[in-house]
Amino acid sequence: MNETTAAVKREVSGKKVALRVLLYLVVIAVCLITLYPYFAMFCTALKSRAEIFAVEGTILPINALWSNFIDIWGRAPMARYFLNSVLIAGGSTIIAMLCGIPAAYALARMKFKGQTAFLGVVIVSQMFAPVVLLIGIYKVMLDMSLTDSIWGLIFINAAFNQAFTIWLLRGTFMGISAEMEQAATIDGCNRIQAMTRVLLPVAAPGIVTTLIFIFINAWNEYTVALCLISTDVYKPLTVGINIFNGYNMIEWQYLFAASIFAIIPVVILFMCIEKNLVSGLASGGVKG
């Protein structure tokens, strides 16, 4: 009997090891598939134009030209593009959060007529891509004299991220017990003080997650910025790097080098908040 039990345990242990190895292999394969385009982009950024268009080329550069990453700053106003993207992404994130936190709090804690309908409108509005509403957006921005300005892009990005902000933060607030705010009220806090001193610190993971997603969405936005901005000095980084895409040729080495600079802030941002990311998404997924 003992030998049979030991054999069964070895068989079960062997199956677990095999499943774990298979899981690791799948994860490695997915990572390689996901990261390969970035690896190819990085390798291309280190090549010369002649090497890129060589008939018998390889993915790895023969002579790595690290100077390509320096040359792009002299060939285009990259610093200005980068600053514009920071202003647009940062400004739209601040506006979206300032408007979204009170709206999400009201939907999570207060009862009023039309609440379900309002929440439905918020969710439905998330289904429309900016490109579908591009003509209307352009006309509204034109009437407000915001077609060729950074403020126009800030307001547009804040508006398009508002629904996501409300939806995710509402779930975050509903996952927090209302008794904590009630206890703060008993101690003398009003509703606003209870929200700022008790609710928001507890909801920090969800707020940080929402903030990061808004920033990344605004940072990566391309279509609306391409249509609204015509002056070179107001272009964000996503649109500005098109300067390497000429009428007669595309300078792939400079285009990919500039694209890597555009990716770096997002990667750093994810590395800084990865601990709060999973808990924030989980808290935001609570059903109302």
For the chain, the C-alpha Rg in angstroms (whole number) is 25
Nearest to 259 by CA among 276, 277, 238, 243: 238
pLDDT in tens, 176-216: 888 877 887 877 778 788 888 888 888 888 888 888 889 98
pLDDT in tens, 45-63: 998 888 888 767 678 888 8
Residue 151: the pLDDT is 93
Q: Are 13 and 101 in the same domain?
A: no
Cα 90 to Cα 213: distance, rounded to the nearest angstrom: 12
- Decide if 52 is inside a domain: no
- Decide if 54 is inside a domain: no
Q: Are 120 and 24 in the same domain?
A: no
pLDDT in tens, 206-249: 888 888 889 988 998 888 998 889 888 899 999 988 888 876 77
Q: Are 249 and 133 in the same domain?
A: yes
In which domain, by residue range, is 10 found?
Answer: 2-45
Q: Are 85 and 17 in the same domain?
A: no
Is the pLDDT at 92 greater than 90? The verdict is yes
Q: Are 20 and 161 in the same domain?
A: no
pTM of the model: 0.81
- Decide if 216 is inside a domain: yes
Please report, rounded to a whole number, the percentage of residues in the chain having pLDDT higher than 70: 89
- Decide if 65 is inside a domain: no
Average pLDDT, the chain: 83
Is the pLDDT at 271 greater than 60? The verdict is yes
Cα 40 to Cα 263: distance, rounded to the nearest angstrom: 14
Residue 10: the pLDDT is 64
**Total Cβ atoms within 10 A of residue 288:** 12
**Class of residue 266 by CB neighbours under 10 A (exposed 0-12, middle 13-18, buried 19+):** middle
Cα 247 to Cα 109: distance, rounded to the nearest angstrom: 56
- Decide if 59 is inside a domain: no
Q: Which two tokens stand for residue 39?
A: 């690896």
Q: Are 246 and 139 in the same domain?
A: yes
Q: Are 125 and 25 in the same domain?
A: no
Domain count along the chain:
2
What residues contact residue 123 under an 8 Å CB cut-off, 6+ apart?
163, 167
Q: Are 24 and 152 in the same domain?
A: no
Taking residues 127-145, report their average pLDDT: 84
Residue 116: the pLDDT is 78
- Decide if 64 is inside a domain: no
46 or 76, greater pLDDT: 46
Q: What is the CATH number for 240?
A: 1.10.3720.10
Query: What is the residue whose two structure tokens read 């982009």?
Result: 41
Residue 284: the pLDDT is 45
Cα 37 to Cα 269: distance, rounded to the nearest angstrom: 20
Q: Are 162 and 270 in the same domain?
A: yes
Q: Are 88 and 145 in the same domain?
A: yes
- Decide if 62 is inside a domain: no
Torsion of CA 102, 107, 109, 114, to 10 degrees: 130
